[in-house]
Amino acid sequence: MSGPPRVDGPPAGLPVRRTRTVAVAVLAAVVGIRVSVARGLEGTAADLAGDPAGALGRALDGWGSAGSLGDASAAGLRSLPLAALHRLADAVGVPGTAAQAAWTALVLVLAVVGARRLASVASPAAAGESWAPWVAALVYACGPVLVATGVDAPLDGLVAALLPWVLLPVVRRDRGWAGAARSTAWLGLAGVGTPVWSLLVLAAGLLAAVVVWRRDLRQLLRWVLLAALASTWWGVVTVWEARRATVVTDVLPDADLRLQVAQALGRPAWSLVWLLLLALAPAAVAVAGVVVARGRPERLLVGGLLGLGTLLVASGLSSGFRVPVLAPAALGGAPAALAPALALWSAAAVLAWGAVVDGLRWHLDDLVRPPRSRTQAGALLACAALVLSAAGVALAALERPTDPAAAGTQGAPADLWRDVAAWSRSAPPGRVLVLPATTGRLDPVVRQALGGRPWVGRDALPVSTPTATAALDDVLRRVSRGQAAPEVLDGLRRLGVAYVLVRDDLGAAADRRRPSGLVRAGLASGGATRVLALPGGDGAADVVVDGGVRPATAGVEVWQLPGSGLGRVAVGAPLDVAGDAGTTADLTASGVLGPRAVRLVEDGAAVLSDSAYRRDVDQREAVDPDGPALAASQGREVVPPGAAAPPTASRLVSGAEAVTASSSAAEATGDGRRPGAEPLAAVDGNAFTVWQSRPGVREGQWWQLELDAPRRVFGTTVQVVQNVYGGQLVTRVRVDTDAGGREVDVAADGRLVLDDPGPTSRLRITAVAFSGSSPRDAFAIAEVVVPGVTVREELVVPRSSASTWVLAARPASRTRCVPAVPLPGRPTAEPATVCDPSLSVRGRDVGSLDRVLPVPEAGPVTGRAWVRAPDTVQAAAVADGLADPSVTATATSVAAQDLVTRAQAAADGDPGTAWRAAPSDEEPALTLAWPERARISGLRLVLPDDGLSARPGRVRVQATGAGTGGAAPRAVERRVEEDGAVRFPAVRARGVTVTLLDLEGPTSLDSVTAAQSPTAAAVAEVEVDGAPATTYDADAVRTLRCGLGPEVRVGGTSVRTSVRTSARDLVEGRPVAAVLCDRPQVAAGETPVSVEATFTWLPLGLVLSRSPAAVGEVDDDRPAGGTSGPAPLEVDADAVAHRWSSVDLPVPGPGTRTVVLAVPAGTGFAARADGVRLRSVTVDGWAQGWVVPEGIDRVSLDYSAGASLRTGAGLGLLGWLAVLGVLVLPRSRNRRDQSRVGRSTQA
């Protein structure tokens, strides 16, 4: 491996060598193009291709807002070479996929040429007529490690390709400053990769320099000095990013050795044995090279690279591959931790290749005999290694690397995403929230379509700060349940979200788990409008899925929120609250927050919220990452640290010692989580709640009740959940008590009645046998009723000096009627309302709200609850009493138990609402009634023109209440005209029944069974000629007197409430305020409080306060969530970061104010007023804010972190330029000397 002597003039066989080099370079380029085109645009490439001009313009900002709520990032600076290529390609009309394929091809060509030269220098004897150097180069460049890295992380692939070029001048023993510069100049370019790759190349070069120049200290110092100069710029960048960017190491997905090797090699489907054989092949070549090499430096260098790679592998194994990773490096996915180590092994194999081939050639005849020397043993070892290494080239060329996280998605057609990209370029600025959350990784096509627009999504690898992710999760929990509440839109605004992109392309199964219809319902109820509807397919929709709730073909929607921006100005100083990110939404829902900001504190809080109840939190779970409530004595797991605020409430169970289970679907780390499916759900007295074991686990799962004292359990009933529809039945369980255990058979209805086993302190029920199975089966119990035992769960808040308590429920979704998906041929911005009784997302709380408050001193309290109306007859009666309808309506059926679609919707004077019958009702009938008889002679049906409803061809009309005696008027059947008109003989009546006949409409396909059924009939309004004019004052706000609101219990006192609301609020399920009519006296000590659930009111939360309170008097007439929020700021964080100078802004309003940017606090933004830096505060638990004193009406904002990045990187770049100057100047001097010699000769 010693370097060849330097000779003047071309070496022998130069044309042949060049031909071979061109051949392998072409092959490498073909491999790169093929793999890149097959893989498509992902990660950084997708971002750059989506907005190449913007990416180039933002490269030096030091800020990133793609995929997160914002973070310090030097990714733009590192991606400058790739961004320039994409910008050039865009300028000449070349597609982004072609530009990326060209990049990959260039990287592989660079790698193959560098590796060929390195292999030739390392083994001059093998570089003559042998193909060994070219084969070594091809194996290095086109092997699975570099190809997979080059596709997954294009800039890291470039750094891996530079590794041979850094080693080449050192191994070749190039002397002098120029010789050192030939190696170290490449280190400056190596800074475009992630820090681990850049440091890897630097370490490998330093190792080579120490080994080769260990006896020439002067040359070694030259190399070290130039290497330091060339690396300064990216060293500064790395330190800057490490100090400011979010560390995501703790939320990286768990990966065993097989997954790590598979990711590094781009072979996710391979078994561990084959992966290890392929990964260890370069190491085997390097080991063989150490054995057969004759010179000590050669052995040291190959062994050093091999040892360095092995050290990285060992470090990964010992730490579970938890290498430090920053958010900018993880945006494209979790980096392959083993790839750098395998690259080092590959470089060592290139150095050893020639010696191994040479040894094989000379000892081939000895292979059939037992090895007698170390060279023969090396030859034996190298044979298999060479074959496996060469096979990697063929695998890279023939097999497409696959991203397992992207597998299984239905995916919208490419033309839809092109339309999204066109909208993103033309729409007003604003951050986009991508929904729904996905348990894998967000598809790269979304990133490419949104281009340079700031956006955030939630997947299994959150890249925002833990506190920002917690705020995002709280908002997503609310919006995914379709809550018709002001706190949903207020929460989105506080996140800086201006648009919500709803993906209708993930398939029906995914939509059933997290229905997009509920998202649409929550957005529409808050005033958001659908500004982009892109249904897949074309033409009329003859078949809809689940009545139009789910898409029949892949599509995309974009909703715009009113009054949103990335900044706002709040009134006053922030309100100090003890709680978590959900506290702000709860205060908004209660109506007591108004336009103020919230600051979360541990001590000295004016408001104490129970939102931070003690629970496990695992932000690696993209959907509902919170576990069930825990007792104060229980430990909890929080991933990552900082993802949960200090607990402000804990669980207290009374009536039993403990209720436990072998597992629970409600656990934070459970696959297929079901919030609320915890062990206590089986003894809460509610048959609609269930305990369920973790999905996929059945036999041996148990549920246990531990009693306070031994007692008889004779007559105990157990209701086991039987999944008859899914084909699973529990056939046998084991019942264990203190007296022992026995197995009992379970009937088909799941009901068990236990015999008397004698006094017992525990009752355990274990699943023993099942009939039928499926991968997601589980053991579940709906209810266990033990005579004389009542188990109750409450949340207990800690003792505090706060003057106000905010107690909030976390309910399940109750919305069943939602805006429809966009239909092919009918992409309207005003979606129709459709219903599906199966729409549901579970929540933690069901029924009444029960809490325990440790009150420090006795005294009176004021209070208000916020509640919603359930979808019941009683709630409908209250709504009609408020609206005072002139015509009342009843019907034979409704499509779902939702007040929005009840019969009165056809007689409320609003054509935007509609009664929808049940799809199974073949002749649905609607009955209208009015107080006095009237002469009627016809009617007109106003039918929704939504393409989703069945329309009647004929109707049967029956007058009702015609008189006090005689026969009832005969029913008549008439045809429905095109305008909906129906004529019949005049008759005097107090009402009319209209039966819809000959229904025709699209067919609805059940997304579970694929069964087809007719769509539901719908009627928006019925106008009866001669009947009283239809009036329904849905928006009139009226007060329900004390006693008509929900009952609130404070201590032992029952307090009546008064509700001020409108019929529309009740019908649409919006939160309404129920103010306490009295101010009850509260004794010092632990005080139980509760808000009872009734058929008229469902509790959502309760505020109790002692005067004076920081939130004012809470028993006033402020509506729930009705006050305006903070005013929007006239600039967003992205605009501030993009401006390299400060941005001067007006701050409206008198007195003290709080300026808030919707970016994580501490990321480098600063605010000044009159040249003085303003005090920084963290708002809402995560956002950056500043308190503006009274009398100041303008502030200037700047991103000071970006300036420090540009300054540091710019000064460091001068060092790299100096190294390049050292490399260029000697060549220029040599050319001048040769020119002088030539002139002298001529003279």
1163 vs 447, residue with greater confidence: 1163
* Mean per-residue pLDDT over the chain, rounded: 85
Helix %, strand %, coil % of the chain (to 5): 35, 25, 40
1084 vs 384, residue with greater confidence: 1084
Identify the pLDDT of residue 1236. 47
- Locus of tokens 């120029």: 178
Asked whether the predicted pLDDT for residue 866 surpasses 90, the reply is: yes
Strands in 1143-1146's sheet, in edge-to-edge order, are: 1143-1146, 1194-1199, 1165-1169, 1172-1173
Identify the pLDDT of residue 267. 76
Distance CA 294, CA 585 (A): 73
CB-CB contact of 43 with 333 (8 Å):
yes
- The full set of domain ranges for the chain reads 14-405, 407-568, 656-790, 885-1025, 1131-1243
Asked whether the predicted pLDDT for residue 844 surpasses 90, the reply is: no
Give yes or no for a cis peptide into 640 (omega within 30° of 0). Answer: yes
582 vs 292, residue with greater confidence: 582
Residue 1016: Cβ-neighbour burial (10 angstroms; 0-12, 13-18, 19+)? buried
Asked whether the predicted pLDDT for residue 727 surpasses 90, the reply is: no
- Locus of tokens 């529309």: 1064
519 — pLDDT class (breaks 50, 70, 90): very high
Q: How far, CA to CA in Å, does 1153 sit from each of 143, 808, 1037, 1190?
A: 60, 28, 32, 7
- Look up the CATH superfamily of 656-790: Galactose-binding domain-like (2.60.120.260)
Q: Which two tokens stand for residue 316?
A: 């990964």
1243 — pLDDT class (breaks 50, 70, 90): very low
Distance CA 1088, CA 805 (A): 13
713 — pLDDT class (breaks 50, 70, 90): confident
E strand intervals along 27-70: 63-64, 66-67
Identify the pLDDT of residue 125. 57
- Locus of tokens 């190596």: 190
331 vs 595, residue with greater confidence: 595
Identify the pLDDT of residue 905. 95
CB-CB contact of 586 with 474 (8 Å):
no
Look at 387-391, 555-559, 641-645, 983-987 and tell me which has the smallest mean pLDDT: 387-391
pLDDT tens digits along 752-802: 999 888 899 999 999 999 887 665 678 999 999 999 899 988 999 999 889
Does the 885-1025 domain belong in CATH 2.60.40.10?
no
Look at 15-29, 978-992, 1056-1070 and tell me which has the smallest mean pLDDT: 15-29
Asked whether the predicted pLDDT for residue 397 surpasses 70, the reply is: no
CB-CB contact of 384 with 418 (8 Å):
no
Identify the pLDDT of residue 482. 84
Tally Cβ neighbours within 10 Å of residue 18.
Answer: 11
Identify the pLDDT of residue 1045. 94
1231 — pLDDT class (breaks 50, 70, 90): low
Angle between helices 296-318 and 339-363 (to 10 degrees): 140
CB-CB contact of 762 with 705 (8 Å):
yes
pLDDT tens digits along 122-148: 876 555 557 788 888 888 888 888 888
Report CA dihedral (344, 345, 350, 353) to the nearest 10 degrees: 160
Question: Of 298, 351, 287, whose CA–CA distance to 136 is shortest?
Answer: 351
**pLDDT > 90 fraction of the chain, expressed in percent and rounded:** 50
Look at 18-27, 294-303, 418-427, 580-589 and tell me which has the smallest mean pLDDT: 294-303
Asked whether the predicted pLDDT for residue 886 surpasses 90, the reply is: yes
400 — pLDDT class (breaks 50, 70, 90): very low
Identify which of 7-16, 599-608, 1135-1144 has the greatest average pLDDT.
Answer: 599-608
Distance CA 343, CA 621 (A): 32
Q: Give 1189-1225 as a DSSP string.
A: PTT--EEEEEEHHHHHHHHHHHHHHHHHHHHHHHHHH
Distance CA 499, CA 449 (A): 14
198 — pLDDT class (breaks 50, 70, 90): very high
CB-CB contact of 119 with 137 (8 Å):
yes
Asked whether the predicted pLDDT for residue 7 surpasses 60, the reply is: no
Q: Give 634-666 as a DSSP string.
A: S---EESTTSSPPPSBEEEEESSSEEEES--TT
Asked whether the predicted pLDDT for residue 431 surpasses 80, the reply is: yes
